[in-house]
């Protein structure tokens, strides 16, 4: 028997109500982007990701307890990490310049990949080529991919969210400890200090030169709170590899190629872009792999935190 008109209207009203908060979030995000530039990365990115998840929680109020017990602690830990990372700049020891540089020279028979790649592929600020824009897009994905995937897991699968959030936090914590104990100069800074020929920060140069998107503000604001010697390991590379580890089981057909190539493309963008040495990226992959394995080993203990409950492993929205 078809539903009566009186039954259809409340159903439509509920569906519209579910869309209200996500729509408000999108409009607010667009307004902030227009006024202050790309709202990606750092504390601003975490705040906006949290507001996005909250909009889905408000659309389905039964998710609010999971937001408080699951996403909120994750966001707080990321915000704390962002603050502490800025204070780790030469906190205990002077920054190391040559060890990571020497490793790259050893791996590539005396050549420095960043210098070689920029010499052969980079045509200078204001003369970006197609591959430079590709490098910029891959580099930019670092500022939202990890949080977007965490949000998707939070909405769709609480067990995966618990594993992923714990892995991200463990990876970030291990990297922070390394930054404190081993501050390291990246290629662009080594070039500025005379240890290498001049090295451009290509993603920054390309993004700042774009006439749209407000990406220049993203990099300018980031530089105000950046730790320039938090280079070993590369968290850009580590987060990308962690995304591969979590998405591999779901990828099918050509998507497996895309997922597998993502950390490779990120590593290339970092090395060519002057942000990291190859050895920084390899170490980032190792840190990510270890974080993934540790969390998988202790996964049962995650049942009590991160908002996870066995009955909420999978949720269709």
Write out pLDDT tens, residues 72-112: 999 999 999 888 887 777 667 889 999 999 999 999 999 99
Q: Is the model more confident about 113 or about 253?
A: 113
Position 301 in a domain: yes
Is the pLDDT score of 18 beyond 90? no
Position 14 in a domain: no
User: Residues 53-74: what's their mean pLDDT?
Assistant: 84
Position 53 in a domain: no
Say what the pLDDT of residue 304 is. 38
Contact, 66 vs 315, CB < 8 A?
no
Position 268 in a domain: yes
pLDDT in tens, 185-242: 999 999 999 999 999 999 999 988 887 766 766 665 555 557 889 899 999 999 999 9
295: Cβ contacts below 8 Å, ≥ 6 apart: 163, 166, 167, 170, 302
For CA atoms 212, 213, 217, 219, give the dihedral sign.
Answer: negative
Say what the pLDDT of residue 213 is. 64
Say what the pLDDT of residue 302 is. 53
Number of domains in the chain: 1
**Which of the residue ranges 82-96, 107-121, 164-178 would you say has the lowest mean pLDDT?**
82-96
Position 194 in a domain: yes
User: Residues 166-191: what's their mean pLDDT?
Assistant: 95
Q: Is the model more confident about 192 or about 18?
A: 192
Position 213 in a domain: yes
Position 52 in a domain: no
Which range of residues forms the domain containing residue 91? 61-312
Position 45 in a domain: no
Cα distance between the two ends of the chain: 26
Say what the pLDDT of residue 309 is. 43
| Token pair for 3 | 């539903």
pLDDT in tens, 43-53: 888 988 888 88
3-state secondary structure of 28: helix
Q: Provide the Cα torsion 51, 53, 55, 60; round to 10°.
A: -150
- How much is the pTM? 0.86
| Mean residue pLDDT across the chain | 85
**pLDDT interval class at 17 (50, 70, 90):** low
Contact, 45 vs 39, CB < 8 A?
yes
- Tell me the residue ranges of DSSP E strands in the chain: none
In the chain, what percentage of residues exceed pLDDT 90? 53
User: Residues 150-154: what's their mean pLDDT?
Assistant: 93
């Amino acid at each position: 028997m078809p539903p009566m008109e009186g039954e259809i209207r409340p159903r439509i009203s509920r569906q519209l109500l579910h869309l209200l908060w996500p729509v408000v979030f999108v409009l607010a995000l667009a307004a902030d982007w227009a006024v202050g530039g790309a709202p990606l990365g750092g504390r601003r990115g975490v705040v906006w990701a949290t507001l996005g998840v909250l909009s889905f929680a408000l659309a389905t109020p039964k998710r609010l307890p999971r937001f408080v017990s699951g996403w909120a602690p994750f966001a707080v830990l990321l915000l704390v990490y962002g603050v502490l990372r800025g204070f780790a700049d030469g906190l205990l020891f002077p920054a190391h310049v040559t060890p990571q540089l020497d490793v790259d020279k050893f791996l590539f028979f005396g050549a420095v990949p960043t210098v070689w790649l920029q010499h052969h592929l980079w045509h200078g600020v204001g003369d970006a080529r197609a591959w430079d824009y590709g490098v910029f897009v891959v580099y930019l994905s670092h500022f939202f991919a990890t949080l977007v995937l965490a949000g998707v897991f939070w909405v769709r699968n609480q067990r995966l969210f618990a594993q992923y959030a714990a892995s991200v936090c463990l990876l970030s914590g291990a990297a922070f400890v390394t930054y404190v104990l081993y501050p390291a100069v990246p290629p662009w800074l080594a070039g500025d200090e005379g240890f290498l020929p001049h090295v451009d920060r290509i993603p920054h140069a390309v993004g700042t030169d774009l006439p749209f998107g407000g990406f220049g503000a993203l990099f300018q604001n980031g530089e105000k709170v950046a730790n320039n010697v938090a280079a070993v390991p590369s968290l850009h590379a580590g987060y990308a590899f962690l995304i591969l580890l979590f998405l591999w089981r779901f990828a099918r057909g050509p998507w497996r190629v895309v997922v597998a190539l993502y950390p490779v493309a990120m590593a290339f963008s970092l090395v060519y872009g002057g942000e990291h040495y190859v050895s920084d990226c390899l170490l980032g992959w190792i840190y990510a792999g270890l974080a993934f394995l540790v969390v998988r080993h202790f996964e049962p203990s995650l049942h009590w935190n991160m908002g996870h409950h066995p009955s909420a492993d999978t949720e269709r929205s």
